[in-house]
Structure 1
């Protein structure tokens, strides 16, 4: 029976986590190897730092800093501003054409709430083409590439442990949806150990640490992690650097209206000299239960609706006549690569959020596997917007909700943010585009326009005079053939 490696034992004793080796003498050789490999790979010192910072942040409670609307210098809108939109689009397309833009998709979630065991991006919301969310996004990337003269737009797809293999398999099965395979780069969201209430790491087997995903904010650390065990030196960030990527558009998988690699947003952020940018939509009404991007003291922050007083929620911006706190967060961001590279230096200051949970685990010293009836431990998560307070140069762009945001969160038939509302919103957008181009869509007709044909309504001049009906007339069939 092999002895515990001395250096490993000393390291874990120094960290106060040596209990993880309690069962080591009784393990099989294979189990010993597995445990040593896990403990060697784990940055236990970082785990302790993250726990300490999270506890201190929680004890400190909510910040007493005053909450104020965004400064006018950092917040603009494209609603009713067509000239600015055109200008920013041109700047964005030039950056894309120069090969300076990449996109980063946060796709670690499963479709459990949708009744699916597949990754969420595989989901079919019921459109006539039955395309998946992944396919719509891939085809939008392809369309932007063509608008920018055929430029390469690398797509960094962040999966999680449970979704990586099925996501990769889905892309291969569909031939990467027409994109070059070399430009689709998969990597994996990290995990953090589950802890006792006093910060001791839990075991889920005598030879295995209990872990949980580290939140969508884990993407910052994941960008510095190896793309694969066989290629330990290549990381998403190093790949971006090697390709000359300077700007990255980041978004979540569950928005069927998302404009991937949006040249308007990219051009706006470049124009503002932003290191970090965020797209927002206007709050539907003052008390809508959404987080808004605002100032907490002198720092950018996402402020939860529960933190805003009724008076603040109803406050009016005298310059615009709109709500002062209206910048609803939709998890749609811009970064410079330089800023992403700098986050490592401030990561220890970013406080993870603590969730107290019932965590099944192997008890020490008994070795009994227990399923607790009440919360017995904590999981820690970082949110992608937790970096905002550390951002000096930020820009926020307001976009029309009906054109860019329809999230898929809930089970079919819920009536809110479900597959039916996603389908409704996407078809409605495409009908607006067709009618703006001079076509007529009959009531009840479901006419789908492929992203291969248009990204944001451009290029549809050929449909002028078409009548698109529900009963499958010649015009309808011709439209569907040409447009899909």
Structure 2
């Protein structure tokens, strides 16, 4: 350890306080601190901090006059596209999957802290009859999609699954998949890598010591993906596998369609290098970012950055002018990502998160502050939209594809209960569309009360009528439980032979015979 050289380097960047306790440390702790500090690129992180805080201090012109909605010619909608056109998109997506040209990348750095669990969110059991976790649901959707692509083309193609974790979620995630035999996926097609970490700063630009021998660090945001693609050799892996298109999404959406062939096909048909899947905002002040143009470039603008007057603007058809709600569900070509990594990544600005960061004071005591005392810097995955030459948007029905899981039950929205019920609602619609029927124990049909969706538009459960499912004479108590395994159907297809002209009594759980080797739990009623 060259401590004199380290002191000189720290002094150059005004960070010599990091060695304040050096003489009090034993040899082990000295090695730990030396390693912690020397792993930091001081030139880069101090530049990031200055650039980020300088931009905060600038007088920000109101965005309203600079905002434009996404042009209609690049704004597709699943609800407004003909079945024939949707089939063309789907077939193109399936063909690309069969040829091995499509990969999926999961942003899974988050712990389940807000859910009240000490492990990665992807390992969370939402409470379905099958007790499947988010990771298992997603793994099975990949398996089914590979099967559908083979059925369509006669060619066996694999979908590599890249999972970006944080420092705290990588090892638990690897262990979880290994213990569950990768849920039937090939081990070599699961690539788990870690996003970067950045030191936390005080408001005046000093890197924070978490304790005497450890620097306080935090993940660099889901936009840290682009640096990690290079540093963890993920781009090289994509190129070696000849993956041309990548679907990127967040772990917490229970309804996510991984490598959605319709979305993939739409983006390819438009010649897009970058695409965003969105849902229509439910109401003007909904707390969701909006995909739009600012000064002629595409980006996501947070709801808090738009005035109420602009948020309430409507088109002649009464739809909100700025309606494209961002759901962190994106399409990229690998060529586009290569350009981002090689040419644009360093220019991406960090965003500031003011946080309560534990620190060691001048006496060596660890302090847990009661109010924000420092800054964590992060980038967002959608920050690269501005560099797209051929950007497109694809709008999907919220009730079909978006139900995030963020909070424990008891919160107002985005809870295990709302996620679970949204999945039941979707699967019930699949069942009915395929000719099946849910019946009461007296074999009388169950009819959904109006309004039918459990989702009321802001992620909460609508209590009136939706905790009761009625027929002409009887009330169904509690939620209508209907779960269809992804191994049985990816998006409602292939159910006719199983459910047409058949009656099922909730709780219903349609499962594939192969599942028992991967899932120990069974359903009590309606198991297929």
After superposition, residues 395-434 of structure 1 pair within 5 angstroms as 395-434=392-431
1:147-188 CA distance string (max 9 Å, x none): 111311111111112222221111111111110111111111
Q: Which residue of 1 aligns with 2:453?
A: none
Name which of 489, 492, 508 aligns with 1:454. 489
1:271-298 CA distance string (max 9 Å, x none): 2222211100011123323221111111
Alpha-carbon deviation of 1:98?
Answer: 1.1
- CA pair 88-21 structure 1, distance change in 2 beyond 3 A: same
- CA pair 131-371 structure 1, distance change in 2 beyond 3 A: closer
Q: Which residue of 1 aligns with 2:41?
A: 43
CA distance in 1, matches of 2:356, 2:287: 27
Alpha-carbon deviation of 1:354?
Answer: 1.6
After superposition, residues 111-260 of structure 1 pair within 5 angstroms as 111-149=112-150, 150-226=156-232, 235-260=233-258
Note if contact 2:436-2:502 (Cα within 8 Å) is conserved in structure 1.
Answer: yes
Q: Which residue of 1 aligns with 2:312?
A: 314
Alpha-carbon deviation of 1:472?
Answer: 8.4
Q: Secondary structure at the match of 2:321?
A: coil
CA distance in 2, matches of 1:169, 1:261: 25
CA distance in 2, matches of 1:63, 1:388: 21
Note if contact 2:86-2:262 (Cα within 8 Å) is conserved in structure 1.
Answer: yes
Alpha-carbon deviation of 1:244?
Answer: 1.1
Q: Which residue of 1 aligns with 2:95?
A: 94
The aligned length equals 467
Q: Secondary structure at the match of 1:258?
A: coil
- CA pair 107-471 structure 1, distance change in 2 beyond 3 A: closer
CA distance in 1, matches of 2:525, 2:484: 9
RMSD: 2.3
Q: Which residue of 1 aligns with 2:461?
A: none
CA distance in 1, matches of 2:231, 2:61: 32
Greater displacement, 209-218 / 12-21: 12-21
TM-score with structure 1 length normalisation? 0.91
TM-score with structure 2 length normalisation? 0.83
Alpha-carbon deviation of 1:61?
Answer: 4.3
After superposition, residues 53-92 of structure 1 pair within 5 angstroms as 53-64=51-62, 66-81=66-81, 82-92=83-93
Alpha-carbon deviation of 1:468?
Answer: 0.7
- CA pair 327-373 structure 1, distance change in 2 beyond 3 A: closer
Greater displacement, 463-472 / 35-44: 463-472
CA distance in 2, matches of 1:432, 1:93: 23
Structure 2 portions without partners, runs of 5+: 151-155, 440-445, 447-475, 510-522
CA distance in 2, matches of 1:350, 1:441: 52
After superposition, residues 338-353 of structure 1 pair within 5 angstroms as 338-344=335-341, 345-353=343-351
CA distance in 2, matches of 1:51, 1:166: 31
CA distance in 2, matches of 1:62, 1:36: 40
Note if contact 1:57-1:351 (Cα within 8 Å) is conserved in structure 2.
Answer: no
CA distance in 2, matches of 1:124, 1:336: 33
CA distance in 1, matches of 2:325, 2:338: 27
Alpha-carbon deviation of 1:71?
Answer: 1.4
Note if contact 1:50-1:348 (Cα within 8 Å) is conserved in structure 2.
Answer: no
Note if contact 2:110-2:169 (Cα within 8 Å) is conserved in structure 1.
Answer: yes
Q: Secondary structure at the match of 2:14?
A: coil
CA distance in 1, matches of 2:247, 2:223: 15
